[in-house]
Amino acid sequence: MPRLSLNKAIKAGNGARAFVGLECGLTRGSLPQEEVHQLEAELARAKREAADLRRTLRSSAGTRGAVPDFIIIGAQRCGTTYLYDLLRRHPYFKPAERKELHFFDRDANYAKGLSWYMSQFPQPDIRNGQKEITGEATPYYLCHGLAPQRAARMVPGAKLVVMLRNPIDRAYSGHMHHSRRGEESLSFDDAIAAERQGEPNPLDTGQAVADDARGRRVRRHHFHLARGIYVHQLREWQKYFSSDQILVIRSEDFFANPGVVARDVQRFVGLPDHDLDTASVRNRNLGTYKEAMAPATRKRLEAYFAPYNKELFHHLGRDLCW
């Protein structure tokens, strides 16, 4: 069952009514109009959350499985597989049928509805007074234009884990990954140039590319730069999920100290503290490169990403040191 912040919603609603009462002269005093508007907006959001919960409960009645407690939504080549593999070692974590369910980013899967999505998760049990936790990890969700709204409609109470890596290293890793798989024929420099001179970027407009063969190819094997403009993607998700539902992890911190970061994730998603054996879990997607990125290319990309990174750091309130 989705976990919504009902106390928070009730508090927002009561607060909004109280302030509206002040504005109407029901209580002594007055408030600035913008505070009234803010509380009215909070009340509207609380009503939307309650409506989402009612829809979810109606849709899930009699359905086997569960809704996820958390989703690792991205980004690609940032350590999502390694983190999910570590969480599998936790005694109170019950993984989904597959790490990547691609429910919110693929039209064909989304059309199957909430009952299908729930069927991909095991029903949690209560053991020793502790509820088991379940979740999935599909790193393409972060940059998909429709995924935030779809997720908010289906699982409004889910916790979201976001892993962010230096966008230059993420872009190069993504390009090499697809090249090894035969999905990218251009050199890294040529691929970057083609992206900057090519089609309109669907990630900037928040629109998803049509879910056909060509659309999947464009989304997954190009836009190496666009995927690293994290601030735009985070803001889109934050239109639908509150800040306390989103944990942002710096991938470099995770790679350096996987046990420490995994402990933070456990606490965030509701798992009891447990020492995960990081030495026994291999980072399966750790790639090796035949050639390093050209220094001149890195310099150009540093200039390209600098304003976006600055905006991201300001938005998060912390410097990720890229």
| 261 and 289 belong to one structural domain | yes
Let me know whether 41 and 84 are in one domain: no
Residues 95 and 160 in one domain: yes
Query: Does residue 232 belong to any structural domain of this protein?
Result: yes
Distance in angstroms (rounded) separating the CA atoms of residues 270 and 16: 30
**pLDDT category of residue 285 using cuts at 50, 70 and 90:** low
Cα–Cα distance for residue pair 241/88, rounded to 1 Å: 25
Report the alpha-carbon distance of residue 66 to residue 50 in Å, rounded: 19
Identify the domain boundary among 18, 33, 60. Answer: 60
132 shares a domain with 27: no
Cα dist. 78→93, 174, 175 in Å? 21, 10, 13
Q: Are residues 310 and 194 in the same domain?
A: yes
165 shares its domain with 309: yes
Asked if residue 30 has pLDDT above 90, the reply is no
Residue 78: which CATH number?
Answer: 3.40.50.300
Residues 190 and 304 in one domain: yes
Report, as an integer, the average pLDDT of 187-209: 67
Structural domain includes residue 226: yes
The pLDDT value recorded for residue 179 is: 82
Structure tokens that stand for 19 in this block: 């302030």
Q: What is the mean pLDDT of residues 286-299?
A: 85
Say if residue 180 is in the same domain as residue 32: no
Mean pLDDT throughout 234-246?
97
Q: What is the pTM of this model?
A: 0.77
Q: Kindly state whether residue 53 falls inside one of the protein's structural domains.
A: yes
Looking at per-residue pLDDT, the higher value among 256 and 36 belongs to 256
Residue 79 has pLDDT above 90, yes or no: yes
Instruction: Please give the residue that has the higher pLDDT: either 4 or 186.
Output: 186
For the chain, how many structural domains are there in total?
Answer: 2
DSSP of 193-236, one letter per residue? HHHHHSSPPHHHHTPPPPSSHHHHHHHHHS-TTGGG-HHHHHHH
pLDDT of residue 28: 41
Higher local confidence (pLDDT), 279 or 164: 164
Instruction: Report residue 10's pLDDT band, with 50, 70 and 90 as the boundaries.
Output: very low
**311 and 163 share one domain:** yes
Residue 46 has pLDDT above 50, yes or no: yes
Cα 139 from chain centroid (whole Å):
7
pLDDT at 208: 42
Same domain, yes or no: 252 and 282: yes
Of all residues in the chain, what percent carry a pLDDT higher than 90? 62
Burial class of residue 238 (count of CB atoms within 10 Å of its CB; 0-12, 13-18, 19+): middle
Q: Indicate whether 321 belongs to any domain.
A: no
Q: For 267-294, what is the mean pLDDT?
A: 84
Same domain? 303 vs 189: yes
Q: What is the pLDDT of residue 214?
A: 41
Q: What is the pLDDT of residue 252?
A: 97
Residue span of the structural domain in which 255 resides:
70-316
- Examine residue 322 and state whether it is found in any structural domain, yes or no: no
> Quick one: CA dihedral 284, 288, 293, 295, positive or negative?
positive
The pLDDT score that the predictor gives to residue 24 is: 40
Whether residue 93 is found in the same domain as residue 36 = no
- From 60, 80, 96, give the residue that closes a domain: 60
Residue 282 lies in a domain: yes
Binned at pLDDT 50, 70 and 90, residue 21 comes out as very low
pLDDT band at 184; cut points 50, 70, 90:
confident
Would you say residue 1 lies in a domain?
no
Residue 96: pLDDT band by 50, 70, 90 thresholds? very high
CA 207 – CA 217 distance, rounded (Å): 16
Q: Return the minimum-mean-pLDDT range out of 42-46, 176-180, 236-240.
A: 42-46
Of 60, 85, 105, the domain-final residue: 60
The pLDDT tens digits of the residues spanning 102-150 come to 999 999 999 999 999 999 999 999 999 999 999 999 999 999 999 999 9
Mean pLDDT of all residues belonging to the chain: 83
For the cut 60, the answer to whether the pLDDT of residue 187 exceeds it is: yes
Q: Is pLDDT at 195 greater than 70 in this prediction? A: yes
**Is residue 299 a part of any domain in this protein?**
yes
Q: pLDDT-based confidence at 1, cuts 50/70/90?
A: very low
User: Using CA atoms in the order 202, 206, 210, 215, what is the torsion angle rounded to 10 degrees?
Assistant: 30
